[in-house]
Amino acid sequence: MKSLPLAALLAASLVLAPAAQAKLSKAETAMAKTVTAEQERSVALLERLVNQNSGSLNLEGVEKVGAMMRAELEPLGFAVTWKPTPETKRA
Cα maximum dimension of the chain:
67
CA atoms within 13 A on the CB side of 66: 15
Q: What is the CA radius of gyration of the chain?
A: 23
So what's the pLDDT on residue 19? Answer: 54
pTM: 0.66
Task: Report the distance separating Cα 55 and Cα 62, nearest Å.
Answer: 7
| 3-class DSSP state of 7 | helix
Whether residue 49 has pLDDT greater than 80? yes
For the ranges 32-36, 58-62, 68-72, 78-82, the lowest mean pLDDT is seen at: 58-62
Under a CB-based contact definition with an 8 Å cutoff, are residues 91 and 54 in contact? yes
Average pLDDT over residues 33-56: 96
